[in-house]
Amino acid sequence: MSLSVMFDGNELNEILDVTDLRRNVGSPRTNNFQRMSSSQLQRYLGYTKDNAVWEMDFKMKNDLIEKRRGLAALLNVDEPKELIFGDEPDKYVMAVPDGETPVTEQVFLGKGTIQWIVVNGKSYSKDIKQFSFIDDEATVFNNGTDDAPLDIHATFTSDADSIGFVQEEEVVQFGTTITEDEDDFVPSERVIRDGMGPTYRNEWKLNVGRPRFKYDYGEGSSRVTGNVRWVESKVRISDFGTFKEDGPSYWHGPTLTRNLTESLDNFTAYHRFKLKPGGKRKNRPKSLGLLEINYLDADSNFVMGFSLKDNNPNKATIMYDFFIGDHRVFRGYLPNKVLDYTTGIFGYIEMTKIGNEFSFKLCHLKEGFRENWSVKKTYHNDSVAMLSAKTINFYGAQWKQFRDMITEWTSTTVTKINTEDDTLVPLVFYEGDELFVDGQSNRVYINGIRDDNYRVIGSSQFLTAPTGQSEFSIVSDGEADGYLEMRECYL
């Protein structure tokens, strides 16, 4: 039986049989020396390591054209992916094919070689070990053969300016360290943290808001009608209202509106949502939907907003728009790797207004609230900068009687920023915030939002566990519960 080769979740030996595999020992090592003046002696300056190159010979039988094209599709990746060989099914490497993959064909038999570039030449355990902090201390046991990157998970039980994770002389720190002479920093204030479940339903009013898309267009205007259902940590549209077939065409659905306790000149708003086709797989591309999230002032003038729209019944395609005031400042389309009509779009929008600067970040989330794709845009507008946000308005709609989409809002967080200089906005933590640091990619996430700016400049960049036993501590001006996760690493 051929050796199993899993690459990016696909079994390659359904297409090929491995005939030889050359994995070498560790990574290529380059030793560096410096010749000492007036001497034949050389001083050792250390070494550097490169990625490893593994060569895999294979053969293919029958249907060579089809298999060659199938193999090309599986190898066509844009970044290193997990590679697992059947003789070590409990470990994986991050690898990407390199160069050409020539295949010689003789009648029904084809032979070739794949060169795998193995990142850092290291293997990782598929099993994840977890080490909890007890009284701000955690003991990590690494039975691998090399230092292992650590994932950091922390949930804040109080507000905090910063948090650090310490191992001997190594400190990885996040947040903002404010010294006594830094009086320019003004604390931000979280004014809303809404899980969008039944607990929060009394904060919202149904069908009193106005949509942005073609609301004042006479008979063809968008209509406010229908109802929502509050379940656990989300609110879902349960009824888009009725549509008269003999009248004009229009979008129709409910609005949800929440008034802020005060008008905000400067703020950051985070909203998580879902826009998902329903029904049988073959019918899902026919689903149409519109989702809006808008901020308005006390006089119902638009301050800034965002929308998603699928208005093409012939294929799965979703456009997204960013708005400042009454004007659309950007239109884009979700890329194919994000828009899968079998699962729809689940993600978040982050909108920020500081002075005359307006920023948008749209992100698609995969399992575990990890970012899969994002786009960020920043604009300046002096006239709209004078408006203050007082109202949040959601709108979800169905086009005529076409197949609708599952429309949900699952989280709302609004933070008041007390400065008009974005360089002086302290990146702090609030009670209930969740910090996650991906040890392998070194990416920082706050409540599922990637923000590498939370890493304190001057602190260590990576948190790693040496082989054997090691001790880690939490150092913070607040309180947090947490744990470390590790995949053991092998040379």
How confident is the model over 191-231, as pLDDT tens digits?
Answer: 898 889 899 999 999 999 999 998 877 767 889 999 999 99
Q: Which CATH class is domain 5-125?
A: mainly beta
Instruction: Report whether pLDDT(185) > 70.
Output: no
pTM for the full model?
0.71
129-184+426-490: what CATH class? mainly beta
Q: Give Cα 491 distance to the centre of its chain.
A: 30
Domain parsing of the chain, residue ranges: 5-125, 129-184+426-490, 223-237+251-406+415-420
pLDDT bucket at 177, cuts 50 / 70 / 90: low
Rounding to the nearest 10 degrees, give the CA dihedral for residues 319, 323, 327, 332: -30
Tell me whether domains 5-125 and 129-184+426-490 share a fold. Answer: no
CA distance 483 to 434: 12
| Beta-carbon-side half-sphere exposure of residue 133 (alpha carbons within 13 Å) | 21
- The whole-angstrom separation of Cα 49 and Cα 118 is 12
Q: Is the dihedral of CA 75, 80, 81, 87 positive or negative?
A: positive
- Using a 10 angstrom Cβ sphere, with 0-12 exposed, 13-18 middle and 19 or more buried, the burial of residue 261 is exposed
Phi, psi angle pair for 264, to nearest 5°: -110, 120
Indicate if the pLDDT at residue 463 is higher than 70: yes
- Nearest 5°: the CA angle 295, 299, 300 is 40
The pLDDT tens digits for 409-432 are: 999 999 898 877 665 666 788 888
Closest CA to 370 of 173, 151, 90, 74: 151
Contact in structure between 67 and 16 (CB atoms under 8 Å): yes
Between the alpha carbon of residue 51 and those of residues 26, 27, 122, 487, the distances in Å are 9, 6, 9, 19
**CATH of segment(s) 223-237+251-406+415-420:** 2.60.120.200
* Type of residue at 68: R
Let me know: does 288 contact 251? Beta carbons within 8 Å: no
Which of 48-52, 135-139, 419-423, 462-466 has the lowest average pLDDT? 419-423
Check pLDDT > 80 for residue 184. no
**Could you tell me the pLDDT band of residue 383, with boundaries at 50, 70 and 90?**
very high
pLDDT tens-digit readout, 261-291: 999 999 999 999 999 887 676 667 778 899 9
Over residues 105-118, the mean pLDDT reads 88
pLDDT digits (tens, 9 = 90+) for 69-102: 888 888 988 889 999 999 999 999 999 998 888 8
